[in-house]
Structure 1
C-alpha cells in the first residue's frame, strides 16, 4: 500500500513538472541561453580588450545580420539553392554528355561486336551488355558529374560556415513541426543524395527527432531525380511560353518542386511528431561559427572520396541487377507480348486515375535501384508499348536521345499530356527511396518497421497528391 502511494505521488510530481514546463512556454530554454550569453558578453566587454580579431568579429556580425535576417534570410537561402542547382545542372551537362558518348555510343557497340565475334548467345549478350552494362553506364554518366559538382559546393558552404546559418534560419520552422533544427542540415545534404542525408542525421542527438529526419529526408530532391525533372519541365512546361523564356520557366518549375519537397518535409514531420513519434521538440543551442576560408584539398577529398565515390558505388551495386531485370521484362515474351507490355496494359487503367500511365509505374518499379535510369527506361518502354520503329537502340534496350524534340515526339506518341508531365514531376518527388537509401535507412535505424515506413509513406503521399491533382485538372478542363 505504501509502495502504491509512493508511486502515485511520483506520478503527480512528474505531471506537475510537465504542466509547469508547458506554462513556461516553448522559448524558455532559448531565453535562458540568451540571458547567459548577454551576461557573458557584457562582462567580456568590461574586462577584455580584443585586438586583431575585432574586425573579423565585426565582419561576421554584419554578414549574419543579412543572411540570418527575418526578411532576407529565406530569400537568400532559396536564391543560393537555385544557384547551386543551376551550377550543378549546367556544369554537369557537358561531362555527362562526354561520359555517355564514351560509355554508351562508343563502348557499347564495341562490346556488342566482341560478343558477336565470340558467338555469345543472344540472350547472354542481352542480359550482360544491353542490360547490366547499359544500366551501369547510364548511372555513371548521369550520376557522377552532378555529384562531383554538388558535393564539393555543398562542402565548401559547410566549411565556409554558411550551413549553420541555414540551420539557424530553419530552426523555428522545424521546431514548430515538432522536429529538430539540425534537420535542415540533413535536408540540405539530401539534395545531393538521400543516402548521405540519412547518414547526416547522426548529428541529431534525440532518437525520436533523428528518426523523423530520416523518414522525411526522401522529400529532398536528390540529384538522381534532377534529370527527370529538368527534361520533363523543358518539354512540357517550357513549351508553354516563348522560347526566350523557356529555360527560366523550366528552371522555376524544378525549383518549385524542390521547395514543395521542403513543405512536405515540414508537414510530415509535424504529423509524425503529433502521432506515432509524439514528443516535444528539443531545443538546441547553436553557436554560429566564424566565417573562414575553406580548406580546398580537404574539401575535395571529403566530397569526392567520402561522399561521391561511396554513394556512386552503392548505386552501381544495385543498378547492375536492375539493368538485368529491365532487359528480361522487355525481352521475355508470352505469346505476342513481352512481360513489360502485359504489365503496362494491365496497370494502365489504374495509373490513369492518378494522371500517370503503366509505363511510368513499371519504370519506377524496375528502376528502384537507381533513379538515374528512369528516363532511359521510360523511353524504352514507350517505344516497346507503342511499337515505334527505328528509334534509339531498338526495342527492349535502354536508350536516350540527344534531341529534346525527339524525346518529346516519343512521349507524345505514348499519349503524354501536360497533366502526365506535372504528375510525373510530383511522383518523382513523392515516391519510394532508391535501394541505396533504403539500405542506408535500415543500417541507421536497425529497424525493419521504420525502414518500411520510410519506403511506403512517400509512395502513399505520391498517389494521394497525383490523384487530387488529376481530379482538380479534370474539374477545370
Structure 2
C-alpha cells in the first residue's frame, strides 16, 4: 500500500511538471511560428534605419549585462532617494515641530489641563509629525523615480530578467516589480501586487514584500551601520552604504527562500505562465508620472500611515506615563520581555520599541531613546555620536547593533502594510501570516547569530 501511495504521488508530480512544460512549450511554439511568418512576409530596409529598441534590449535583457545594469539603475534610484530626502526631511521636521510649539502656546493660553496637552501634543501630534517628516520626502522622491522607469518601459525588462529566478521559487516574475516598489513603502508594494493575475502568486508576493526594507527602516539601518559597524574613516559613508546594500541583498535572498517555502506548503500550486511582450520604449509623460507617483501612491500611503500613527501616539504616551509601583507600564513590559530578548541578542526595551513601532517603523528609534532616557514623550538626539553613547551606556555591543538591524529587516510589517494586506487579500488570515512569518524568521536568525558569537567568543 505504501508503494502504491508513493506511486500516486509520483504520478501527480509528473502531471504537474508535464502541464508546466507543456504550457511553456506551447507558448514558445506560438512565438516561434509568429516569428517565422513575420520573417517570410515582412521585409526591412536595413540601410535606412537601425532598430534602436532592439539594440537597447540586447543590453538590458542580456544574461551578461542585464543584471549589472538593473542593479546600477535601482541602486541609483536608491541613492537619489536617500541623499535627496535628507534636506527636505530636516526642513519638514523643523516646520512641523514649530507648529508643535504654537500648539503648546495655544493650550497654555486657554489654561488647558497639562495632561490633555501632553496626550494630544506630545503624544498624538508629535508621533504624526515624525511619521510625516520621515516618510513624505523619501516617498516623494522614490515613487517618481520608480514611476519614471515604469513609464519609460524599463520595468517590464526587470521582470523579464528575474522571471526565471522567481519561477524556480514557485512565484511570479512580476513579483520583482512589487518587491522594488517595497523599497519605497511596503504598503505600496503590496498594492502593486494587483499586477499579478494569479491569486496564489499574488498572495506570495504580498506576504514576502516586507523582507525588503522600506524608507521607514532605512534611517535605522543607516544610523546603526554608521556608528557601530563601520569604523571612522574618510570612506565611512561609502562603507556604510555598502553594508546597508549587503543587508538589502540578505532581504532579497530571504524573499526568494520564503516564496519557495510558501509555494511548497500553504500556497501550493502550478506556477502561472508569464508571457511578457516587451513594450516599446516611450517618452515619459511628466504629468502622468507626477499624478501617479504623488497622488495615487505617496498621498494614499501617507494617509493610511497617519490614520494608524495617530492612535499609536496616544497608546505610547499612556504606557510611558502611567506608573505602577513607581515604574512605567512601558518599563514593566520591557523587564518582562528582557530574558527572551537577551536570548536573541537584544533587550526588553528594544523589543518594546519594535512592538510600539508597529504603526510606523520611523518611530522605533525615538521610542527606544525615550525608554532609555526615562522620558514621557518621544525624543530624538542631536547627533549620531550622542546616540551611540546612550546605547553603549545601556549595554549595547556591536552584536546588539547587528541584531537590531537584522530584526528590523526581518520583523513584522508596519501597521499600514498589514492593513493593506488585509484589504488586498480580503482576509485577516493572510495579514496574520504576513506578521508571524517574518518575525519568526527574524527571531531564528538573531538567536542563531547570538549563540554562535557567544559559543565561539567572537565578541
The TM-score range, normalised by the shorter chain, is over 0.9
Contact 1:147/1:308 (8 A) holds in 2? yes
Q: 1:286 to 1:55 in 2, by over 3 A?
A: farther
Q: Where do 1:205-224 residues align within 5 Å? A: 205-224=197-216
- The 1-side partners of 2:278 and 2:32 are apart by 15
Mapped pair 1:336 → 2:347: no
The aligned counterpart of 1:409 is: 389
Structure 1 stretches of at least 4 aligned residues deviating more than 6 Å after TM superposition: 12-18, 51-54
So what's the TM-score if we normalise by structure 1? Answer: 0.90
Contact 2:338/2:348 (8 A) holds in 1? yes
Give the drift of 1:377: 1.1
SS of match in other structure, 1:243:
coil
Structure 1 residue ranges without an equivalent (≥5): 1-11, 385-394
So what's the TM-score if we normalise by structure 2? Answer: 0.93
Contact 1:148/1:304 (8 A) holds in 2? yes
SS of match in other structure, 2:62:
coil
The aligned counterpart of 2:304 is: 314
- The 1-side partners of 2:64 and 2:397 are apart by 39
SS of match in other structure, 2:234:
helix
The aligned counterpart of 2:426 is: 446
Mapped pair 1:65 → 2:58: yes
The aligned counterpart of 1:234 is: 226
- The 1-side partners of 2:108 and 2:8 are apart by 81
Give the drift of 1:202: 1.5
Structure 1 residue aligned with 2:339, among 313, 338, 349?
349
Structure 2 residue aligned with 1:365, among 346, 355, 363?
355
SS of match in other structure, 2:407:
helix
Structure 1 residue aligned with 2:34, among 20, 32, 40?
40
Give the drift of 1:23: 4.7
- The 1-side partners of 2:402 and 2:11 are apart by 52
Structure 2 residue aligned with 1:291, among 258, 281, 292?
281
Q: Deviations over 1:259-284 (max 9, x none)?
A: 11111111111111111211221222
Q: Deviations over 1:6-25 (max 9, x none)?
A: xxxxxx9999797456358x
Give the drift of 1:77: 2.0
- The 2-side partners of 1:119 and 1:318 are apart by 30
- The 2-side partners of 1:152 and 1:69 are apart by 26
Contact 1:68/1:168 (8 A) holds in 2? yes
Alignment length (residue pairs): 451
Give the drift of 1:39: 2.8
Q: 1:426 to 1:13 in 2, by over 3 A?
A: closer
Structure 2 residue aligned with 1:252, among 242, 260, 271?
242
The aligned counterpart of 1:92 is: 85
Q: Deviations over 1:442-462 (max 9, x none)?
A: 111112222211111111111
- The 2-side partners of 1:404 and 1:63 are apart by 44
Structure 2 residue aligned with 1:460, among 414, 430, 440?
440
- The 1-side partners of 2:62 and 2:202 are apart by 27
Q: 1:16 to 1:415 in 2, by over 3 A?
A: closer
RMSD: 2.2
SS of match in other structure, 2:373:
helix
Q: Deviations over 1:187-220 (max 9, x none)?
A: 1111111111112112212111111111111112
Give the drift of 1:248: 0.9
Give the drift of 1:37: 2.3
Mapped pair 1:162 → 2:154: yes
Structure 2 residue ranges without an equivalent (≥5): 1-6
- The 2-side partners of 1:16 and 1:35 are apart by 26
The aligned counterpart of 2:141 is: 149
Q: 1:409 to 1:16 in 2, by over 3 A?
A: closer
Q: Deviations over 1:59-83 (max 9, x none)?
A: 2222222222213222222222222
SS of match in other structure, 1:244:
coil
Q: 1:165 to 1:337 in 2, by over 3 A?
A: same
Q: 1:16 to 1:346 in 2, by over 3 A?
A: closer
Contact 1:147/1:223 (8 A) holds in 2? yes
The aligned counterpart of 2:371 is: 381
- The 2-side partners of 1:64 and 1:256 are apart by 28
- The 1-side partners of 2:326 and 2:152 are apart by 61
The aligned counterpart of 2:95 is: 102
The aligned counterpart of 1:75 is: 68
Mapped pair 1:174 → 2:166: yes
- The 1-side partners of 2:287 and 2:46 are apart by 27
Contact 2:16/2:270 (8 A) holds in 1? no
- The 2-side partners of 1:371 and 1:53 are apart by 58
- The 1-side partners of 2:409 and 2:49 are apart by 45
Contact 2:100/2:121 (8 A) holds in 1? yes
Contact 1:376/1:400 (8 A) holds in 2? yes
Q: 1:55 to 1:344 in 2, by over 3 A?
A: farther
Mapped pair 1:22 → 2:17: yes
